[in-house]
Structures are given as structure tokens and as C-alpha cells.
Amino acid sequence: MNYRHAFHAGNHADVFKHILLTRLITLFSRKEQPFAYLDSHAGLGLYDLQAGQAARTGEYLEGIGRLWPCEQVPEAAAGYLHLVRKLNPDGQLRYYPGSPELARRLARQQDRVLLNEKHPEDGRLLKENYQRDPRVTVHLGEGWHVPRALLPVAEKRAILLIDPPFEQVDDLTRCATAMKEAIARMRQTIVAIWYPIKDDVRPLRRFHQALTSTGAPKLLTVELLVHPRDTPQSLNGSGLAIANPPWGLEGELQQLMPWLVATLGQTGASWHMEWVIAENG
């Protein structure tokens, strides 16, 4: 396993994923009942954009680097940007929160954060980063085992992020299988799958078809493209497939996505949203 998320930290796909994750957790927190956040492929949790792998690629310049100077942002993006700015109190963009750090900062005292990372070095650093927070538990194992190993949770409410490295050709198939396992073990779980969009549309067509058989009561997909879908040899955009999206999310996306297209778009940017499984079947 060679993938290291630090190379891509803070890029346009990260920004899109993390804004939506922030909204999922925030909307979930409207009720007092505790919840568990689960992350199948957690990474480090916190990244230094001015050093090492992130500085080498500079991908963050086309992601969080574009949002950083924005003074007026949609309400749905404000909470995310506030958290990033709290990590950089001197006003200079350097540190970027991954999904574990966002979840930890948004979690309340009654909530739990359950993280899993397979990469041995990243897993060790992840454990070190969160060893002082009693709400956080770090597992070092195969991310695809998380649904069957950790669900159902005692809290009765859960958010599961599935964000694999997509090093293997069957990772999209595994994503759909993981969602199906999660829904079977705890039907009300919010399951969010992040996926890349490249020029070959055939794997995504098969993936979206597989999503219809996951057993999710309702399932929404939303995609942000910074390049046209058929641009060769490029990460043209990314999507999130969200089972059991909380009430209010769809309306927020109608306001948020045009702003993200305008802010992060590079050539022929666009967005798309679709109910793969409508609430009434």
C-alpha cells in the first residue's frame, strides 16, 4: 500500500468532501442524542501544507488555497472554513484538517470518533495525534472491515465515511459492498462514499448501478467537476454518494454547489445531483 493522502491534502476534492462532511456532522448534531463517527480510511488527520508531500505537489493551491481569501461564503461552507482558519490563527494558510480532525472538532462530549487506518506509518502517527482525546479510538486494520467490525454502535446513530485510496481497480465495487454491509448492520447509518471522477465513465456507471442494490432507504449523489468529465489524464472532479442524507442537506447543496463551481472550477466546471434511491422507493 503506497498511497499517502498528504500528497493531495487540501485539493479541490478534499475541499468538496470536507465541506459536505462538516454539514453532515453539523446537521446530525441538531439532536442531543449521541452519535458515533466512523472513518474507514482515515489518513493522518492533520496536514502541513508547507512541508513534505503536500508542499511538493502544491495541489492545495487549487483547493483550499482558492477558498482561503474568500470573505463572503455560503452558510453551508462557513463552518468548514472557520475550522480551517482556527488551525491557522496567524492568518497564513499552513495547516489543513483531514476528516478525522474535522470530526473530532465537531464532535460533542457525548459523541465518539472511531478511526481506522491501514498504512502502518500513517496509522502510528494517527494514534499519536489523538491519544489524549478520550472520545477518539484509532484502529489499525483493513478499512473494508470497518462496517462489519464496528457496526452497529451503542449510540444508535452513526456517520460512516468511506474514502479509500482507489489504488485497486475494484475499489468502487468494494465501496458499494461496504455500504450494503453498513446498511444491513445498522439501517439508519449515514454512509458517505467519496469517489474520483476521471475520463472513463464506465466504472462510475457500474458503481451507480451497484448503489441501487445497497438496501439504503434513500441515497443521494452529488458531484463537483472542475474540468469537463471527458478531460483525459486528469482528476476531473469527485463525488459523494450519501445514504440516509439528513433533512435539509439537499436544499443546502442547491445553494452551495454553484458557489463551489465558481470558486474551484478550472475549465468547464459543473455540478450534478441525483437521487439514486428516492425516499419513497
Catalytic residue among 111, 133, 163, 170: 163
**193 grid coordinates:** 462514499
Annotated ligand binding at 142? The verdict is yes
Give the list of residues 6+ apart from residue 145 with CB closer than 8 angstroms, or none.
Answer: none
Annotated ligand binding at 48? The verdict is no
Annotated ligand binding at 59? The verdict is no
Spatial CA neighbour of 125 closest among 276, 6, 8, 206: 6
Helices then strands, each counted (H, E), the chain: 10, 10
Annotated ligand binding at 230? The verdict is no
Annotated ligand binding at 145? The verdict is no
Annotated ligand binding at 167? The verdict is no
Q: Is there a catalytic annotation at residue 39? A: no
**Alpha-carbon span 107 to 109, nearest angstrom:** 7
Give whole-number Cα distances, 270 to 22, 68, 173, 212, 267, in Å: 22, 21, 25, 24, 9
Task: Indicate the burial class of 263 (C-beta count within 10 angstroms; 0-12, 13-18, 19 or more).
Answer: middle
Binding positions are 18, 41, 99, 117, 142-143, 163
By annotation, the residues acting in catalysis are: 163
Binding positions for S-adenosyl-L-methionine are 18, 41, 99, 117, 142-143, 163
